[in-house]
Amino acid sequence: VVELSDAAIARCWTQVHGGGGYLSSGSELRGTNTSIVDHYASSVGGCLLLTSSSRAELTGAEVSGCWADGNGGGVYLQDESVLRGNDVSILDNSAAWYGGGVFAFSSSAIELAGAEVSHCSSGFGGGGFYVSSSMLHGSDVMILDGHTDWWYGGGLYASSSVIELTGATVARCSAGIAGGGFCLEFESALQGSNISILDDAAGSYGGGIAIFSGVIELLRAEVAGCSSEFVGGGVYLDSGSELRGSNISILDSNADHLGGCV
């Protein structure tokens, strides 16, 4: 167990994984008022890598200015690892491949309360979050100005995963092809309440939301000011996908060809 308080870890690098730190085999990092900034990994986990049931618990922490040549510009999780954050900022992180802010797969979990994930980017998918065969639970989360150059999910991409969000804002995010705000594939499920999806854009499908295979359930939600250069300015649903909404508004969105709102 590593416990840090009022600490700074800065300007480190590795030729393989975990520029700022590498946790494995059930290791645990507990950080309070800790800054983990300006790190680089030539493979995955620009800031932190968690593997083999490791966990990081961060309170009042900042993860920023990190880069990975592979996946997970900020934090990379795999193999049942857990990232738990309270009042956490994940800012200005980038990955050449997937998951500019956070990359999670293989039954890992992300639990956030009072978090901001902004100005994170990736080359191919999940500018803010890339979640595969894992879980993300967030309350009072802001995903802002996320971007992916080529593929899906400027704010968040989910594959075979469960996403639960309460009191979230996804704004000014963009994707080269689909899901400027959110993109779901491979029977993923997203449940959201008190959600705002604002001013997001996609090159082809679903400026705000793109669902290729999965279900999104929204309660008290707004999708507004979103755009697509082809289909589904606000929302795009592929065959077999579902959007269920109660007290939901889809406003002021546009598509260059088909379905300005949906």
Model confidence at 149, in pLDDT bands (50, 70, 90)? very high
Q: What is the pLDDT of residue 121?
A: 98
Name the percent of the chain lying above pLDDT 90. Answer: 100
Q: pLDDT digits over 51-93, tens only?
A: 999 999 999 999 999 999 999 999 999 999 999 999 999 999 9
What local confidence, expressed as pLDDT, does residue 182 receive? 96
pLDDT for 214 equals 95
**Residue range 152-171: mean pLDDT, rounded:** 98
Position 120 scores a pLDDT of 98
Residue 36 is predicted with a pLDDT of 96
Average pLDDT value over all residues in the chain: 97
pLDDT bucket at 173, cuts 50 / 70 / 90: very high
Sorting pLDDT into bands at 50, 70 and 90, what band is 164?
Answer: very high
pLDDT at 170: 98
Instruction: Give me the pLDDT at residue 12, please.
Output: 97
d(CA 171, CA 250): 14
pLDDT band at 174 (very low <50, low <70, confident <90, very high): very high
Q: What is the mean pLDDT of residues 120-135?
A: 98
pLDDT, mean of residues 226-249: 96
**pLDDT average, residue stretch 161-166:** 98
Query: What's the confidence (pLDDT) of residue 154?
Result: 98
